[in-house]
Amino acid sequence: MGGFAALRSATLPGCRPGQAQPVVSGSAHRARSLQGKINNRRTLVTSKAKEGNGVEEASKPKDGVTSVQKLLSNNRYWAEKVSAEKPDFFEELSKGQAPEFFWIGCADSRVLTNFFTGTGPGDVFCHRNVGNIVMHTDMNCMSALEFSVGALGVKHVIVCGHYACGAVNAALTLPQKSDGIVNSWISSIRAVRNDYAKVLQQLEEADRWPKLCEANAVEQAFNVCTSPTVQAAWADGKELYVHAMIYDISTGRLRRLAGPISSLEQAVYVEESYHDHGGKGEELGLGGTEGNTGVKQELHDRIVRALSGVKEFEEQM
């Protein structure tokens, strides 16, 4: 019997042997079979439900389903709790957003902006990627920056790195010839590593990773300063401040490295801040270099050059 004939003679679900059966394509037959399995699974899950844990062990769906179901259950609990405490909360939130901060951070699952800054929904507009990288060619980051400054009117742009950042560690240890998209993405962090080579080489090996985490955050903040969006905002006289910060996962503490920067002329501010801190550079990414004047001076000079170089070039145009 040919394949088509066999299909025609097969008894479909819901038909008795010998009964005239509809002609169903292979794809429709598979879809009907799959739907039957789904319905059976739903029947098992709902019929075996019990108080507390939801379903009996034998009838539980796979982990992928239960994990997502946990998120949905948590969401329902959270929404009901918030609504009970603040009945108008979601209605007011749905009317629009007016955040004061635009946060550029790392995609690391341990670094949750609202969680460790004590802010709530609508307070911080966020963009996250691997390594908190800011590139003028990254349309995702640049469009978020443009929208936050131009449409939302944020007053502060914060680039926040964090210690124990895997992207930074990869820039220190992963050979440049390694294949993969991630290795290409972190090339900008590797460029920061090369720029700070003299500084990093003077440190113990264990101290290079955290120092590069700081340096990367500062450099990415400089990239924000030289972006077309920020330059245009400053040229229009808008109140806009750029900051570089670092988050310590081991302590939960957030520390400022550089800023607030409100113009390219802030090279002067950065230099004054360096001296105001007695040469320790605690807010310029120079912490932990006490007693090493050469390291502190090198970092200080890089900050001044990075901020003033663009300004000098533009003035000559």
Decide if 108 is catalytic: yes
156, 162, 193, 208: which one is catalytic?
A: 162
30, 110, 253, 275: which one is catalytic?
A: 110
Decide if 128 is catalytic: no
Nearest to 231 by CA among 137, 141, 146, 309: 146
Decide if 136 is catalytic: no
165, 208, 213, 243: which one is catalytic?
A: 165
Give 49's DSSP letter: -
- State the Cα–Cα distance between residues 111 and 27, nearest whole angstrom: 46
What is the pairing mode between strands 101-106 and 156-162? parallel
Edge-to-edge, what's the strand order for the sheet holding 241-248?
124-129, 101-106, 156-162, 241-248, 253-261
Show the DSSP H helices in 96-204 as ranges. 113-117, 139-146, 166-173, 181-185, 187-195, 197-201
Decide if 126 is catalytic: no
- State the Cα–Cα distance between residues 116 and 139, nearest whole angstrom: 28
| Contact (CB, 8 A) for 235 and 311 | no
Decide if 162 is catalytic: yes
**Which residues are part of the catalytic machinery?**
106, 108, 110, 162, 165
